[in-house]
Structure 1
Amino acid sequence: MVMDESQWVPEREGTVSTKLLQKAGAAPFVPVGIAGFAMVATYGLYRLKARGKMKMSVHLIHMRVAAQACVVGAITLGATYTMYKDHLLKPAADRAQK
Structure 2
Amino acid sequence: MELQKPIFMYEEESQADKLARKSKETPIFPIAITALTAAVGFGVYKFNKRGKMSPSVFLMQLRVGAQGIAVGALTLGLLYTMINEHILKKKH
- TM-score normalised by structure 1 residue count: 0.75
Query: Hey, what's the Cα distance between the residues in 2 that align with 1:34 and 1:67?
Result: 12
Partner of 1:68: 67
Q: Could you list the structure 1 runs, at least 4 aligned residues long, displaced by more than 3 angstroms after superposition.
A: none
| 2:79 is the alignment partner of 1:80 | yes
* Relative contact order higher in (CA < 8 Å, ≥ 6 apart): 1
- The one-letter code matched in structure 2 to 1:16 is Q
Unaligned runs of 5+ in 1: 1-9, 92-98
Give 1:58 deviation, angstroms.
0.9
Query: Hey, what's the Cα distance between the residues in 2 that align with 1:33 and 1:71?
Result: 7
Structure of higher CA gyration radius? 1
- The one-letter code matched in structure 2 to 1:89 is L
Partner of 1:59: 58
Secondary structure in structure 2 of the residue aligned to 1:52:
coil
Unaligned runs of 5+ in 2: 1-7
- The one-letter code matched in structure 2 to 1:11 is M
Secondary structure in structure 2 of the residue aligned to 1:53:
coil
| 2:33 is the alignment partner of 1:48 | no
Query: Hey, what's the Cα distance between the residues in 2 that align with 1:85 and 1:58?
Result: 41
Give the % identical residues.
39
Secondary structure in structure 2 of the residue aligned to 1:47:
helix
Query: Hey, what's the Cα distance between the residues in 2 that align with 1:38 and 1:90?
Result: 33
